[in-house]
């Protein structure tokens, strides 16, 4: 994860649901490859509203098949997840 650039475009490989936050909101571990093809993973930040889009079944968690723009906060948590391309027709 590179926090020196504002965002990365990643190919999402897997989304793993974690325990809910203390406020009851969903949290995910996101496994992805970055623009260089390197495998990485990061956790979504606590109480992020975009996690509901992940949870609402835009794609299956076990086989997401999307590219997404990921933005990270200073602690390395994902604070923005925007689908940029669906990898199916």
What's the pLDDT score for residue 14? Answer: 84
Q: 31: domain range?
A: 8-86
pLDDT tens digits, residue range 27-44?
A: 889 999 998 999 999 999
The span from the first CA to the last CA of the chain, in angstroms, equals 29
pLDDT tens digits, residue range 54-75?
A: 655 555 556 667 888 999 999 9
CATH of the domain at 19: 2.40.50
Residue 78 in any domain: the answer is: yes
Residue 37 in any domain: the answer is: yes
């Amino acid at each position: 994860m590179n926090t020196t650039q504002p965002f990365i475009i990643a190919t999402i490989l897997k989304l793993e649901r974690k325990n809910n936050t203390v406020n009851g909101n969903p949290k995910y571990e996101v496994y992805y490859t970055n623009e260089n093809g390197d495998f990485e993973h990061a956790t979504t930040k606590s109480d992020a509203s975009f996690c509901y889009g992940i949870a609402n079944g835009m794609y299956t968690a076990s086989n997401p098949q999307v590219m997404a723009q990921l933005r990270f906060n200073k602690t390395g948590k994902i604070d923005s997840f925007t689908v940029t391309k669906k990898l199916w027709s």
